[in-house]
Structure formats: C-alpha cells, structure tokens
Amino acid sequence: MSIRLQDVLGHPTLSVADPVIRAAAGTAARTQLRWIHSSEILDIAPLLDGGELLLTGGEALAVASDERRVTYIRQLAERGVAALAVETGPALPSLPSSMVSAAEAAGLPLIELRKVVPFVSVMQAINSSLVSESVSQLRRADEASHAMAVELAHGGSLDRILAVLAGITHAEVTLVSLTGAALASATPGNAERSETAGHHETAEAGSVAGNTPAPQEHARLIHIDVPIRGILAAQLLLNVPAEEDENLARTAGKRSVDILALAMLQRMSPGLREVAGAALIRAIDSGSQPWRLQQLASAAGIPVSAPLVAVVVRSDISQQLRTSLEQHLSRAAHAHATYVDNAELLAVASLPGEASEESRQQLLAGLLDLAAMGGTLAAVGPLVAGISDAPWSLSEAKLTLELAASPQQGPGSGGPHRPVIDAEAFAVERLTVQALDPYQRRNFVRQQLGALLDHDAQRNSRLLDTLATWLDCGCNTAHAARELHVERQSMHQRLRRIFELCGGDPRDTGRLAALHLATRLATLACRRIPARLVYGTRSGRFHHPSWTDHP
C-alpha cells in the first residue's frame, strides 16, 4: 500500500508543525510519496529523483528574489517532486504569493509548516515505513526488468517490450525521441492481450508509433531519460493513473532503461547523428574543449572547419518549435544540430563558405516565420570560422537576448524588438558590457546625455528615444519622423530642443559617435547582465575567436 501525502501530514511527528496546504490542495489526497528529504539549498532539484516530500526552512527563501522563488518551484515540479513543505517563522512570516501561484500552476502541493519541528525526527519516523515499501517496489521492478529482457531475447518489438512494463505498472507507456516523436507505446490493455496471444503476436491499437496516450484524469506523467552509450537518446513517459502506484512505475521505469537502450540499438538503430548532435550542443553550451567539440561535430555530420552560427530560441513551447526550426535549418544550412533545454531551444548551423554571410541573412529572415508564435524570442549569434568557436557564437547570442530584454526600444527600432534578433545589431552593446563595468557605462552616459536625461525625467518626455531613433536612422530627419509616427515639423522641434540640451547640432562636431554610443548604452546603464553571459574578457570563459592573449 503506497504512502500518500495526506497520511504523512497527519503523522504525529509532522502534525505538530501545524501544516496547512497553500497550493494544489486538491491533489494532496492522491499524491504518493517515495521519500522525505530536507534541504536549504535552492538548487536542489537536479539532485532529487522524483516522488519526494521536500522539507525546507524559510531562511534561504526569505532572502531570495521573487524570480528565484518561482524558478525554485518550477524546477522542483519539473523534477517530479511530490510536494514542498516550507517552515515559516521570523525570517519568512508567510509563504510569498508568487510561490503559491507558481505551485498552483505547476500542480505542486505547497505546504506551510507554521510551527518548528525537527526535520530529522520526521524523516527517521516516516522514511522507515517508506523503506519497507521501496523494497517491495524494487522486487517488482526487477521482475519487470527480467520479463522485458526475456521479451527482448525472444525478438520482441519495442511495443511488446513496453507492453510488459505497462502490464506491471498499469500505466500508459510511451518511448519518444528527442524531437518528441513517439517511437513506441503500450497500454495495460495491450499487455493483457499480449499475454493471452503469446510472445510473437503484433501489438494492437494503442501501440502505434506516433499516437501519444491521452492523459487520464488526475494521472501523473513521469519522465525518465534513456541514454545510449552515455548520450541522451530518448525519453520514457509513464502516464500513471491516480489509483496506481506511481513509485512502482518510477522504479520499474528506471530499471528498464538499459534494456530499452539495447532494444533501440538492435531494433531501430537510432540516428547517431541526432544523438551526437544533442551531445554537441550540450558540450558547446558548457564550453567544452575544442577537441571534444570536433569529435562530436564529426559524429553529428557537421564540418569541423566550416563557417557556422549559433541560434537561441526562448519560448514556453520550445519543444514544439524544434521540428519547425529543424525544417528551416535543413533548407538554410548545410548541416545542423538542435537541443532543447527547458524553455531554451539551442542550435548550431553550418553555412556554405562561399556565401556564408548571405546564408546567415537568409537564415535570419526565415526564422521570422518560426518566431511569429506568441511568447517566442530568438537570437542568431555572430558568424564564426568553425566548431571550435561555436561556444563564443552561442554565448553572444544568449547575451544578445539579455540585452534585448530591456523594455525600451532597441537598435534601429522605434518600438518593441522583433521576435528574431541579430546579435550583430547589438555589437556595440555586447562589446561595452564586456569591456566596461556598470559604473563606467553609467558615468559615460551621464557625461554625454545628463541634461537630456534630466529633462526627460522632469517633463516625463521621451527626447532620448527621439535622439536614438534619429541617430539610428543615419541622422535622416524624415526617416526618423516616419519611424516615430510624428509630423516632420514636430520632429524638427524635438531636435532643436535636443540640440539645446546636448550642446549643439552634433553633425558639425566630433561628438556624433559619442552621442550615438551613449544613447545605445542608456538602456543598459541600470541593467544587471548575468555574469555567466559576459564573456570575452581575460577572466571570462570564452574569448572572441580572433583575440590573442599577450603576457
């Protein structure tokens, strides 16, 4: 009999904490627990295995930003954590509304512990019961693993191997590729028919590749990675009905990973290029050594020395956009690789050497159709000479997205940014944030535009935007007026006032470049760019490919 969250909250060791469910209360009665764990670390999610009740004090959350708290909740939910219990007190008098809303949206039960309780006592008392249950689950999971191995030895298809797992866990089981395509699937009903029909009968309806099981009411979806030779190749999805043991499903699913990997190698021979491509993107993102990038690029079919660019797409539907992006890259590039990391879709595209810049512009133009969907923002990094420099292109694309996140207008734009951004349009900003610290940037902007900024602040005007647009339009007054949707006479009046505040018409002086730079930096003056994205200095992770260190 599985142990559920509601039972644990009523346990004598935990009930004295006066627990109250603040979010996703409707799921508490059916939420099953695999383990109870405590941690004050906000980056704990990758270290958890799913199914845990996580106990934590309020000190770390009290000093964290709202954004970090929400990220904490989302990471736990994505990891499959069963519930989160937070102890409130002097440091954290109550649970922040942002956490409650995020937990409700993610379906993660969020519990407030209103009195202090020793977490060690809670874990010792309840985990002892969970241990005895886990022994039984391990035994049944081993039985499932053995039965799947027998099916594999008899030449069974992936559908039939999954049918064994579905029959033991009573869950709908699907094996999907990294692009989200269903490779095989099975339901408990298939498993029962398979046992009756014998080992060599073809699996019936519900196991056809491409038909993802329909979600059941209150079912829990468990994701398990399936690597092949150390490289992530597929995902195993178990859709567990509320009345079934999801801990058994999770344990049995993890025990089946090696068998499924072997079956994929024998039966389907999954594309090595796809697997190597995903590993290549991860290696580029982590800044691996050039020899490793060259090794993976060769396996992924990407020329080592050909020009290439990196692409970063941020969207809530990044997995769904992956197929569209790959179709576009197949047309616009010689070779490519993609990888989805939560809300980020990362890619590298190898371009023809004889017209690489022209191909890059075509790739940019084609991405506009892809990024037209709501909530999508993409950036194309600078062109580099080969795979060894791909980390720099990727880091510059990510930095561009951070710079473009400003609510104010960007280079050459009279309004919000387009959904696809060229990193080269932010070359000035990228160089400056890597060469100057925030104080130096603010000081430079103040020296050049102090009177204009004060005027805008006092009059609630937008002369800075007018000046930036005029400069971006090459000092063409008529063009700038059209960009700002104002009459030409009004534009001339604004410019006269701007020139008065800036010490005269800059076109007749050597100040034009300085003013243009200052307007571009004004939106960055108060922004904090994540340090991990500010590369290019001697102390940073990456260097520009053409830079050389000197003693």
CA distance 448 to 236: 58
- Strands, sheet with 231-240, edge to edge from the N-terminal-most edge strand: 182-186, 172-177, 231-240, 220-228
- Among the four given CATH numbers 1.20.1550, 3.30.70, 1.10.10, 2.30.30, the one describing domain 273-423: 3.30.70
From residue 46, give the alpha-carbon distance in Å to each of 50, 339, 478, 509, 519: 10, 18, 55, 57, 42
From residue 188, give the alpha-carbon distance in Å to each of 163, 177, 197, 211, 401: 7, 22, 14, 15, 46
**β-bridge mates for residue 379, sequence order:** 312, 421
CA distance 290 to 178: 25
In sequence order, what are the residues at sequence separation of 6 or more whose Cβ sits closer than 8 angstroms to the Cβ of residue 321?
313, 315, 345, 370, 373, 376
Say whether pTM exceeds 0.75. Answer: no
In sequence order, what are the residues at sequence separation of 6 or more whose Cβ sits closer than 8 angstroms to the Cβ of residue 145?
252, 255, 256, 259
CATH architecture designation of domain 5-117? 3-Layer(aba) Sandwich (3.40)
Q: Which amino acid is at 371?
A: A
Residue 529 is predicted with a pLDDT of 55
Report which DSSP code applies to 267: I
Annotate 469-496 with DSSP letters as a single string. HHHHTTT-HHHHHHHHT--HHHHHHHHH
- Label the pairing between strands 231-240 and 172-177: antiparallel
CA distance 456 to 436: 25
112 φψ region: left (φ > 0), alpha (ψ -120 to 50), beta (else)? beta
- The total number of residues shown for the chain amounts to 551
Neighbours of 519 (CB within 10 A): 23
- Label the pairing between strands 182-186 and 172-177: antiparallel
Report which DSSP code applies to 21: E
From residue 103, give the alpha-carbon distance in Å to each of 8, 24, 74, 106, 112: 19, 7, 7, 5, 12
Report how far apart the first and last C-alpha atoms of the chain are (Å, whole number): 68
Least Cα distance to 231 among 266, 287, 271, 176 occurs for 271
Residue 371 is predicted with a pLDDT of 60
Which helix (H) or strand (E) is 336 found in, with range? strand 335-341
CA distance 521 to 451: 16
Least Cα distance to 33 among 270, 288, 226, 250 occurs for 250
Q: Collect the ranges in the chain with pLDDT lower than 70.
A: 1-2, 132-134, 179, 190-219, 229-231, 267-272, 371-375, 405-417, 523-551
Residue 229 is predicted with a pLDDT of 65
Would you give the distance in Å from CA 244 to the centre of its chain?
Answer: 31
Neighbours of 409 (CB within 10 A): 20
Contact by Cβ (8 Å): 200, 154 = yes
For the record, the structure tokens of 165 come out as: 């797992």
CA distance 21 to 433: 45
